[in-house]
Amino acid sequence: KQEVTQIPAALSVPEGENLVLNCSFTDSAIYNLQWFRQDPGKGLTSLLLIQSSQREQTSGRLNASLDKSSGRSTLYIAASQPGDSATYLCAAAQTGANNLFFGTGTRLTVIP
Amino acid sequence: EAGVAQSPRYKIIEKRQSVAFWCNPISGHATLYWYQQILGQGPKLLIQFQNNGVVDDSQLPKDRFSAERLKGVDSTLKIQPAKLEDSAVYLCASSLYNSPLHFGNGTRLTVT
């Protein structure tokens, strides 16, 4: 069974810093890897989806990378802002039907 | 584009009572998911529908949980009877094949 781990569990950075969130998964036979953002009391918002054949995806200040062979993905956030404060979750899909296995998330606080 | 709609937003019940949650996915999304998110954990898939057929219900506690998707659109998730450990946020999501999931805001269930 796929297991997804996220380190660190919580992270505080001053505004303007660049930061990296880490995600590891045990079964490298994934279909895609997705990153989500969750604000308190809300559902999840999709940030980036990396297909298994891709190495990275970018959206604005966000860049996600995927290394299937090592079972790792990273989410890079450039020039962090207080509005980036949220919990970030990664999830691995075992098939194209998107049966996702989630990590427990990294709670990010960006200090003004 | 209207998002995934869920109701109610909050529900408080006593153990052994029953409860039902409703979800309306994004129009045209054939795949619908119900996730359970316990405080401090990542979401766990309960059941996945493709149109009105079940794709994956391996983690659904079938002795007390049931779900249906009428006419391949709306879905309901029922718990009967509820236990204390069912206290969680129940998230509904929908997607196209191999595309990002779109989540609703969830229903927060408290079982006392």
**Spatial distance between the Cα atoms of B31 and B98, rounded to a whole number of angstroms:** 10
Question: Closest residue of A to B6, CA-based?
Answer: A43
Q: Of the ranges A4-8, A56-60, A70-74, B68-72, which one carries the lowest mean pLDDT score?
A: B68-72
Q: How far is CA B14 from CA A92, B49, B60, B82, B84, in A?
A: 35, 29, 21, 8, 8
B92 and B76 in contact (C-beta within 8 Å)?
A: no
Token pair, residue A108, equals 């990010």
Residue B25, preceding peptide bond in cis (omega within 30° of 0): no
**Spatial distance between the Cα atoms of B69 and A60, rounded to a whole number of angstroms:** 37
Residue B62, sorted as left (phi over 0), alpha (psi -120 to 50) or beta, turns out to be alpha
CB contact under 8 A, B55 and A44: no
pLDDT of B1 higher than 80? no
pLDDT of A1 higher than 90? no
pLDDT of B33 higher than 90? yes
Q: How confident is the model at residue B69 (pLDDT cuts 50, 70, 90)?
A: very high
Please tell me if residue A62 touches chain B, with a CB cutoff of 8 Å.
no
CB contact under 8 A, B48 and A49: no
**Spatial distance between the Cα atoms of B30 and A76, rounded to a whole number of angstroms:** 32
Q: Of the ranges A29-33, A34-38, A98-102, which one carries the lowest mean pLDDT score?
A: A98-102
Q: How far is CA A85 from CA A90, A105, A111, in A?
A: 16, 13, 9
Per-residue pLDDT of B48-62, as tens digits, reads: 999 889 999 999 999
Q: How confident is the model at residue B90 (pLDDT cuts 50, 70, 90)?
A: very high
Per-residue pLDDT of A52-91, as tens digits, reads: 999 999 999 999 999 999 999 999 999 999 999 999 999 9
Please tell me if residue A18 touches chain B, with a CB cutoff of 8 Å.
no
Tell me the residues of B at the A interface, defined by beta carbons under 8 Å apart.
4, 31, 33, 40-45, 48, 50, 55-56, 91, 93, 95, 97-106, 108
The amino acid at A75: L
pLDDT of B66 higher than 90? yes
Q: How confident is the model at residue A41 (pLDDT cuts 50, 70, 90)?
A: confident
pLDDT of A95 higher than 80? no
Q: Which residues of B touch A105 (CB under 8 A)?
A: 42
> Best interface-test mutation with A: which of B98, B105, B107, B109 has the largest number of A CBs within 10 A?
B98
**Nearest CB partner across the interface for B100, out of A46, A89, A101:** A46
The H or E element spanning position A35 is strand A32-38
Nearest Cα of chain A lies from the Cα of B47 at a distance, in angstroms, of 9
Token pair, residue B107, equals 């229903």
Q: What pLDDT shows up at residue B70? A: 82
pLDDT of A96 higher than 70? no
pLDDT of A97 higher than 80? no
The H or E element spanning position B20 is strand B19-24
Q: How confident is the model at residue A94 (pLDDT cuts 50, 70, 90)?
A: confident
**Nearest CB partner across the interface for B98, out of A32, A46, A102:** A32
Q: What pLDDT shows up at residue A36? A: 96
